[in-house]
Structure 1
C-alpha cells in the first residue's frame, strides 16, 4: 500500500510538497518519493505520478493499492494513466467532510461502524441504520462507492485493511521544521533524515534474532489470545466451520501459527528493503553546474492578514498539541471550590458574592462611624509643671475673711495639682483644656493680687 498526500511549504513563496509513503515489513513508514510543486492540481499530480511509475515500473505499480485524502485532480489522474487501479479514501478525512453537513456523535459512530464492516451484509445493515436516523446522511454516503471506504468491498490481495492515511501524516509531522526553511535547505534536511533512518534500520535488523518482526509478533500474540473464543469444526476436504465458543476452552494449538505468516512480514524481506545506501553529498560549493535553465520560484502572492503557520483544526481535534495541553471543558460540570456546589465556579459563586457584599457593608458602616468617634483616652492627663511638687507657699495673714477663704481654696487646688503631678503620666502628647489653663493662671497669680480683688 502507498499513501499519497500533499502538505504546505511554510515559506513566503508557498507551494506544496507531494509525498508517496508506504509500509515496511515491521508496520513502519517507508518514504518512497517526495517533490515540491507550485500547487496541488491535476497537472502536478500527473507529473508526480508519471515520475513514480518510471521509478518503480508500471508493472509493479498496477499491483499496488493507493490511499489518498480525496485530493484535487488525483482521481482523474488515476483514471487517465492507470484505469481500474485499487484506490481507497482515508476515512478520517472522509468523515471531516461528512461532519460539516451532518454533525453529531451518533452519526459519527454509525459511519465508522459501516466503514469497519468486514462483509457486505453487515455494511448494508449499518447503512439502513443511518437511513433511519438521517436520510440526507444516507444519500451523502451512498453516492460514494463503498470500494473506496468500506472493508467489506476492499481487495484481498494487498493484505492491508487500514482505513486511515496515517503513514503520510506521520511523515509530514517529522518534516514540519524542514518545511519552514528555503527550498534547498528543506530538501537537504529531508535527505539527511532519510539517510540516517536507512542506516539505523539496517544496523538494528542485524542484531535481531527472530524470524518474524517485532510488531508482527505482537499482533500474532493478540490474535492468539482471542483465538480461544473461537471453535473450528471440521467439515471435510479442508473445510472448517468456525463459530464462537460458548464456554471457556483451553487454548490448544496443534500447528505453529508463525509458519503461516506471509513472506512480506519476515526478516529477510526487511533486510532487502534497507540493503541500499543513501550516500552523503558534498556541500553546495562543490555541486556541479548544469546546462539546464535555472528553476525560478513561484510568483509571490502576499496573502491577506497575518500569515498562519498552523492549519485550522476541526471540532473533533485537540486544540493544543504541546506536552502541557489541557483537556477541553466542554460537556463537564463545574464544581465550586468555595461552597462545593455544582453548576458554577468560585469566581461566579452567588454565596461568595453575598458574603463579600455583607463584609463591604460592615466596613463602610465602621468607616462612617469613625468620623464622630472620641479619642482613645477620654481623660486628658495634666501637663507636668517645671516647679517641684512639694513647694509650699508662705503663709500670709489675710485682712479680710473673703481673701482668706479664697487663699485656702487656692491652696487646696494646688495640693490636688501637686498630687496629680506626682503620679506617672503616659508619654503621649497632651492637650490643654480651658480648665487647665485657668488653674495654671491661678498658680502664677500672687496672693496680694487676690487680696486686691477681694
Structure 2
C-alpha cells in the first residue's frame, strides 16, 4: 500500500523508539507486519526508525538554533550556573563533537562531576578553553603552575608494553608506583632494572612525581594511581554521545540530577562522623595498630615497630609518619594510630583517631558537597527568547574516513593474552590426541595377544583385561563417559555367560 510510507510508520513506532532507542529494526519490522498484515521492507522500517529518532531527539542543526534559549533557561532555573558558548565564523557541516568532563573525588572517594562541555575536538586549545584552562599538562602548566599533575599508571604501562612486555614486568612497574616512601621506591626500581634495564630506562624518563605514590606531595589527599573516576563518568555518558547537542546536554543534566539524589539517600543512612570509605580504611588501620610496639621520646615523636621489624617515626604534632600513608591520604595510618593509643594509655589527652582524619573525609563535608541540587527546567515552548539577531549553526567538522567507532579500543595485551590462551588449548588438544593414539595402540596389542594365545578361553581374561584398561583409561580419556565404559563392561559379562 502506498499509504504505508516511512513517515506513516515513523508516527506509529514513535513511542517504541522513545522508550527504547536501541530497539532492533528486525523487532520493529515483525511488530508492524503483525499489526497491519502487510509486506514491509526492512529498509523502509530502517528509514522510519531514523525519522522517529529525529522526532524524539530533534534535528542536529535545529538544536543549535535554540542553544542560546536553552542556556538562558538553565541559568534562570539554577542560580550560579556558568554557561559559555564559543562561536566561530563560517560554520559548515554536522557537528558530532566530543564531551570533555572535569571530575573530582568526593569525601567517599566517589566521582564528583565539576563541569562538562561539548567541543569540536580534543586538543590543547579546547582543553585550555574548558573550565578556564583546566585539562592536560600543557594547559595546567600554563595557567596553574602550582597544581599537581598525575598520570594514570595503567596508561603509562600500556605505552611501555608496546616495547617491553611480560606479566613479571607489569608487576614490577605497579610495585614501583604503589609504594609510599622513597627508600622502597628506590628498591623497587632496582628490581625493575635487574629484570629489564631497557624498561627501567624508559620509565625513568617520566618524572616520578606524576605516577609514583612515593613522590606525591600529599596536597590532593588521595593515593589514586589511575583515572578510573573519569572512566566511570564516561561510561555513564556513553548513550549521550551520538545525540544532538541539546539532547546530549539534557541527558548529562538528568544523570547528574539522579546521581545527587542517590547520594542523598546514602547520606541519610550513614552513621558516625566519617564517610563510609574513610570509616572502613580507619577500622582496618586500627586492627593493624594493635600489633605495633611504640617507643615515646618524651616530646611529640614516637618510634613504631611492626611486623618483620618495619620501623617508622610518627610526629603527631605535624600529623605525619615516615611511611607517608598519612601524609598522602589524610587518614591516620596504623603507625599513627598506635602512637595515639600509646599517648592515651599514658594519661595524655589525644582524642579518638576519627578526630585526626582530614576534614575532606568528614561526613559533614560530604553532606555539604551535595547541598546544591540541580533544579528542573521547562520544556522548549517555555524557554525565554534570545535577543541576539544571529542564529547559531553547527561549527566546522572534518568527517573521518569510515564508520564512526562507538566501542572502546581493546588493549593490545588483552588481545595477545587471548591468542596465547587459544594456543595453549590447542597444544593441550594435540597432546591428548597423541596420548589417545598411544593408549589405543597398546590396548589393541594387549587384546590381540590374549586372543592369539588362549583363543575362546580368553573371555574371562578379556573381562579382567578390559576392567584393568578401563581403570587406566579414566584419567586419560576425558571425552569418554561412564555410561560407555559400563556398556562395554556389561557386554563382556554377557559374552562370558553365553560361552
Identify unmatched segments of 5+ residues in structure 1.
1-10, 53-67, 69-73, 320-326, 337-341, 356-454
Contact 2:95 2:120 in 1 (8 A): no
In structure 1, what is the Cα distance between the partners aligned to 2:401 and 2:419?
Answer: 33
Is residue 149 from structure 1 mapped to residue 234 from structure 2 by the alignment? no
Q: How far 1:232 moved relative to its partner? A: 1.7
Aligned length, in residue pairs: 310
Q: What is residue 276 of structure 1 aligned with on the other side?
A: 372
What are the residue-to-residue correspondences of 1:344-383 with 2, within 5 Å? 344=429, 351=436
Q: 1:349 to 1:192 in 2, by over 3 A?
A: farther
Contact 2:176 2:188 in 1 (8 A): yes
Q: How far 1:30 moved relative to its partner? A: 0.7
Q: What is residue 260 of structure 1 aligned with on the other side?
A: 356
Q: What is residue 244 of structure 1 aligned with on the other side?
A: 306
Contact 1:334 1:345 in 2 (8 A): no
Identify unmatched segments of 5+ residues in structure 2.
1-92, 310-336, 345-350, 441-499
Which of structures 1 and 2 has the bigger CA Rg? 1
Q: 1:210 to 1:335 in 2, by over 3 A?
A: same
Say which structure is richer in helix. 2
> Structure 1 residues 163-172 or 151-160, which shifts more?
151-160
Q: Secondary structure in 1 aligned to 2:99?
A: strand
Q: 1:354 to 1:225 in 2, by over 3 A?
A: closer
Q: What is residue 11 of structure 2 aligned with on the other side?
A: none
C-alpha RMSD over aligned residues: 3.3
Is residue 36 from structure 1 mapped to residue 36 from structure 2 by the alignment? no
Is residue 212 from structure 1 mapped to residue 294 from structure 2 by the alignment? no
Question: Normalization by structure 2: what TM-score?
Answer: 0.56
In structure 2, what is the Cα distance between the partners aligned to 1:344 and 1:317?
Answer: 23
Q: How far 1:310 moved relative to its partner? A: 0.9
In structure 2, what is the Cα distance between the partners aligned to 1:347 and 1:14?
Answer: 54
In structure 2, what is the Cα distance between the partners aligned to 1:273 and 1:49?
Answer: 19
- Render the CA deviation track for 1:102-136: whole Å, top value 9, x for unaligned: 11122211111111122222222222222233332
Q: How far 1:245 moved relative to its partner? A: 4.2
Q: How far 1:277 moved relative to its partner? A: 2.0
Q: Secondary structure in 2 aligned to 1:343?
A: helix
Contact 1:231 1:245 in 2 (8 A): no
Contact 2:213 2:223 in 1 (8 A): yes
Q: How far 1:148 moved relative to its partner? A: 0.7
Is residue 306 from structure 1 mapped to residue 403 from structure 2 by the alignment? yes
- Render the CA deviation track for 1:48-99: whole Å, top value 9, x for unaligned: 14176xxxxxxxxxxxxxxx7xxxxx22212221223211111111111111
Q: What is residue 288 of structure 1 aligned with on the other side?
A: 384
In structure 1, what is the Cα distance between the partners aligned to 2:434 and 2:246?
Answer: 59
Q: Secondary structure in 1 aligned to 2:162?
A: helix
Q: What is residue 76 of structure 2 aligned with on the other side?
A: none
Q: Secondary structure in 2 aligned to 1:177?
A: helix
What are the residue-to-residue correspondences of 1:322-337 with 2, within 5 Å? 328=418, 330-331=420-421
Question: Normalization by structure 1: what TM-score?
Answer: 0.61
Q: How far 1:21 moved relative to its partner? A: 0.6
Match of 1:185 among 238, 244, 247: 247
Q: 1:35 to 1:349 in 2, by over 3 A?
A: farther
Q: Secondary structure in 2 aligned to 1:276?
A: coil
In structure 2, what is the Cα distance between the partners aligned to 1:206 and 1:42?
Answer: 42
Q: Secondary structure in 2 aligned to 1:167?
A: helix
Q: What is residue 128 of structure 2 aligned with on the other side?
A: 46
Is residue 227 from structure 1 mapped to residue 281 from structure 2 by the alignment? no
Q: How far 1:25 moved relative to its partner? A: 1.0
> Structure 1 residues 273-282 or 225-234, which shifts more?
225-234
Q: How far 1:189 moved relative to its partner? A: 0.8
In structure 2, what is the Cα distance between the partners aligned to 1:100 and 1:212?
Answer: 43
Contact 2:260 2:370 in 1 (8 A): yes
Q: 1:182 to 1:317 in 2, by over 3 A?
A: farther
In structure 1, what is the Cα distance between the partners aligned to 2:406 and 2:265?
Answer: 37
Q: How far 1:257 moved relative to its partner? A: 1.9
Bigger relative contact order, structure 1 or 2, given CA contacts below 8 A and separation 6+? Answer: 2
Q: What is residue 343 of structure 1 aligned with on the other side?
A: 428
